[in-house]
Amino acid sequence: MLNRRRFLMSTAAAGAAGLAGLHLTPAFAEGAPQIQIFVPAAPGGGWDQTGRTMDQVMRAEKLISGSQITNVGGAGGTVGLPQFISQWNGKGNSLMVAGMVMVGAIIANKAANNLTQVTPIARLTGEFEALVVPAESPFKTAADFVAALKADPTKVPVAGGSAGGSDHILFGLIAKTVGVPATSLSYVPFAGGGEALSALLGNQVAAGISGFGEFSEQVKAGALRLLAISADKRQDGIDAPTLKEAGIDVELFNWRGVFAPPGVSDADKAAMIALVETMAKSDAWATECKNRNWTPILLTGDDYAKFVAEDSARIEAILKDLGLA
Partner 1 sequence: MNTLEQLAHGFSVAFTPINLLWCLLGTTLGTAIGVLPGLGPALTIALLLPITYQVAPEASFILFAGIYYGAMYGGSTTSILLNTPGESATIVTALEGNKMARSGRGGAALATSAIGSFVAGTIGTLGVAFLAPVVVKFALAFGPAEYFSLMVLAFITVSAVLGSSSVRGLASLFAGFVIGMIGVDLQTGQPRFTFGTTELLDGVDVIIAAVGLFAVGETLYMASRRYAGKDEIVPLKGSLYMTAAEWGRSWKAWLRGAAIGFPIGAMPAGGAEIPTFLSYAIEKKLSKHKEEFGTVGAIEGVAGPEAANNASAAGVLVPMLTLGLPTSATAAIMLSAFQSYGINPGPLLLTTQANLVWGLIASLFIANVILVILNLPLIGLWVRLLKIPAPQLYAGILVFATVGTYGISQSPIDLVILYLLGAAGFLMRRFDFPTAPVIIGMILGPLAETQFRRAMTISNGDWSVFYKHPLSLTLLTLAFIGLVGPHIWAFIEHRRRRGPEHVPGDA
Q: Based on CB atoms, which residue is closest to partner 1, 143 or 188?
A: 188
CB of 171 to partner 1, least distance (A): 13
Spatial neighbors of 275 by CB under 8 A, at least 6 apart, are: 33, 35, 58, 63, 64
Q: If residue 258 lies in a helix (H) or strand (E), which one and from where to where?
A: strand 253-260
Measured distance CA(298)–CA(195) in Å, rounded: 31
Q: Based on CB atoms, which residue is closest to partner 1, 140 or 155?
A: 155
CB of 271 to partner 1, least distance (A): 25
CB of 151 to partner 1, least distance (A): 13
The residues pairing with 70 across neighbouring beta strands, listed in sequence order, are 38
Measured distance CA(287)–CA(283) in Å, rounded: 6
Q: Based on CB atoms, which residue is closest to partner 1, 116 or 204?
A: 204
CB of 191 to partner 1, least distance (A): 6
Cα torsion angle, 41, 47, 52, 54, sign: negative
**Residues in the site for partner 1, rule: CB under 8 A?**
1-2, 4-6, 8-9, 12-14, 16, 19-23, 42-44, 48-49, 52, 55-56, 72-75, 78-79, 82, 108-109, 111, 154-155, 157, 162-164, 168, 186-195, 197-199, 201-202, 204-205, 216-218, 220-221, 223, 290-293, 324
Q: Please state the φ and ψ torsions of residue 225, each to the nearest 5 degrees.
A: -110, 130
Q: Based on CB atoms, which residue is closest to partner 1, 148 or 188?
A: 188
CB of 56 to partner 1, least distance (A): 6
CB of 303 to partner 1, least distance (A): 29
CB of 298 to partner 1, least distance (A): 21
Q: Based on CB atoms, which residue is closest to partner 1, 153 or 261?
A: 153
Q: If residue 122 lies in a helix (H) or strand (E), which one and from where to where?
A: strand 119-134
3-class secondary structure, 25: coil
Q: Please state the φ and ψ torsions of residue 266, each to the nearest 5 degrees.
A: -60, -35
Q: Based on CB atoms, which residue is closest to partner 1, 218 or 300?
A: 218
Spatial neighbors of 20 by CB under 8 A, at least 6 apart, are: none
Q: Based on CB atoms, which residue is closest to partner 1, 59 or 243?
A: 59
Measured distance CA(98)–CA(140) in Å, rounded: 36
Measured distance CA(242)–CA(49) in Å, rounded: 27
Instruction: Say if residues 109 and 131 touch (Cβ distance below 8 Å).
Output: no
Q: Based on CB atoms, which residue is closest to partner 1, 220 or 306?
A: 220
CB of 42 to partner 1, least distance (A): 7
Measured distance CA(94)–CA(180) in Å, rounded: 44
Instruction: Say if residues 119 and 260 touch (Cβ distance below 8 Å).
Output: yes
